[in-house]
Amino acid sequence: MLDELERTLFDEERIRTRIADMGRQIARDYREDKLLLIGVLKGAFIFLADLVRAISIPVGIDFVGVSSYGTHTKSTGVVRIVKDLDAPIAGNNVLVVEDIVDTGLTLSYLATLFRERGPKSLRICTFLDKPERREIPLAVDYVGFTIPNEFVVGYGLDYNGRYRNLPIVATLKPSVYSKS
Ligand code: IMP
């Protein structure tokens, strides 16, 4: 798997340090209030697992499963909910946790859907952000790292279902794309 990588963007140490900062900031921002984290499956499972352990206040956790139509490198904005939340979110301070914001279509769809359910507040937290690719305006409240317009894998992010278990964030060699 490692010989298919082109360039490391963030190694384990860099990721750990950044997430510790994010966790501290989130704990500070919500210290007076209850917080419900909603992880967007599948990509956010690793980020959410590390982020919650960096947050020192009590939190609730739920997951939403989405599958976006389109190819692996281009999302169409048509989002299908494959697993809805387990519980109502009305009256909760909701923080939606995503792996990466690319066009913004997925999160913009989810934010609209969740706002209709009457949360007390709703914010967005993403591990990675690719602002150059945005097709729809989206206010992102917490960003781990801003990256250029490059397809990346690892730390939950996949290419055709692979590389999610890579502990770093990296780009792939062009030969990997031509194989599939
Ligand atoms: P958006 O709706 O275009 O913002 O797409 C968000 C989704 O596209 C993410 O949750 C990822 O599943 C996928 N995605 C976008 N860019 C990348 C990338 O560089 N690597 C892996 N997945 C990506």
Report how far ligand 1's centroid is from the alpha carbon of 98 (Å).
9
Residue 8 maps to a domain: no
In a domain, 164, yes or no: no
In the residue annotation, 21 being an active-site residue is answered as no
Answer yes or no: is 31 within a domain: yes
CA 59 – ligand 1 centroid, Å: 26
Closest CA to 107 of 87, 90, 128: 128
Residue 172 lies in a domain: no
**Mean pLDDT per 10-residue segment, the chain (180 residues):** 92 98 98 94 97 98 86 66 97 98 95 97 98 95 97 96 96 84
**Residue whose CA lies nearest to ligand 1 atom number 17:** 151
Residue numbers of the domain that contains 17: 13-150
Ligand 1 atom with the smallest distance to the CA of 133 is 3
pTM of the model: 0.95
Residue 177 pLDDT: 85
- Protein residues whose CB sits closer than 6 Å to any atom of ligand 1: 43, 75, 98-106, 151-153, 157
Number of domains, the chain? 1
| 134-175 pLDDT per residue, tens | 999 999 999 999 999 999 999 999 999 999 999 999 999 988
What is the bridge-based pairing of β-strands 93-101 and 35-41? Answer: parallel
Q: For residue 102, how far is its CA from the centre of ligand 1 (angstroms)?
A: 5
Give the CATH number, domain containing residue 27. Answer: 3.40.50.2020
For residue 52, being part of any structural domain is answered with yes
